[in-house]
Amino acid sequence: MYKLAQAGHEVNVCIISGEVNARNNRPGTVELHEDVNSSMNILGVKRVIKGDFSNIELNIVPHLKLVQFIEKAIIETKAEIVITHHPADLNNDHLHTSLSCQAAVRLFQRRDDVLPLKELLFMEVPSATEWGLNAAMQKFFPNTFFEVTEEGVYKKIEALAQYRGVMRDYPHPRSFEAIKGLATYRGGQAGMVYAEAFQCVFRRETYHRH
């Protein structure tokens, strides 16, 4: 997000559960919103859309409500590229967010006034994606790599650190060392120094004859 914002692209974030009442070491609501805003400002995010769905309970929210909320965010931000969680992620909310995103991004096929989707990517979330233990589901398979600078890695860590109680000591996956190590590992996979990895599951290109 930091790299895209620095390059002049508009980056927006949609948060399904804006309160996260079930999170461990959760700060107060005012402090939580301050943390979100501080983190997004560091990354250069233009707009944050927050839902009021209860976290760790998305499995009991009607699927259509989640889809419509995401569709509304897509319309308001004129999103062309959507990045969401991998459906095999251990976190149950991530699963339902992913399924809802997959349905919502098809909106352009039903409405001519919605900007066509160019790409849908699954991301990896340290301490969640690597715990996709359900062997019946395909695990995260990185096939798209974006090079990031060392500055970008440190900006990512700085942004995460704005959330009180989120960063941990090594060897936790959300530690400074593990996050930088993952960027190094993904970079090595793709012949780069540092990289972030994604799984591209939909890409749409149009070509015009001249």
Q: How is 28-86 classified by DSSP, letter by letter? A: -HHHHHHHHHHHHHHHT--EEEE-BPPTT-GGGS-HHHHHHHHHHHHHHHT-SEEEEE-
Q: Say how many domains are in the chain.
A: 1
Residue 26 is predicted with a pLDDT of 65
Do residues 79 and 107 make contact, with C-beta atoms less than 8 angstroms apart? no
Angle at 16 between CA 14 and CA 22, to 5 degrees: 135
In a domain, 11, yes or no: yes
Spatial CB neighbours of 113, under 8 Å, sequence gap ≥ 6: none
Residue 148 is predicted with a pLDDT of 97
| Span 40-91, pLDDT tens digits | 999 999 999 999 999 899 999 999 999 999 999 999 999 999 999 999 999 9
In a domain, 190, yes or no: no
Global pTM reads: 0.93
Domain of 9, in residue numbers = 2-134+198-203
In a domain, 192, yes or no: no
Residue 28 is predicted with a pLDDT of 77
In a domain, 155, yes or no: no
Do residues 66 and 53 make contact, with C-beta atoms less than 8 angstroms apart? yes
In a domain, 76, yes or no: yes
In a domain, 61, yes or no: yes
Q: What is the mean pLDDT of each run of 10 residues along the chain (210 residues)?
A: 97 90 67 94 97 93 98 98 96 96 97 96 96 92 98 98 94 97 98 98 83
Q: Which two tokens stand for residue 185?
A: 């590992």
In a domain, 18, yes or no: yes
Residue 100 is predicted with a pLDDT of 98
Residue 207 is predicted with a pLDDT of 77
CATH code at 101? 3.40.50.10320
In a domain, 91, yes or no: yes
Residue 25 is predicted with a pLDDT of 62
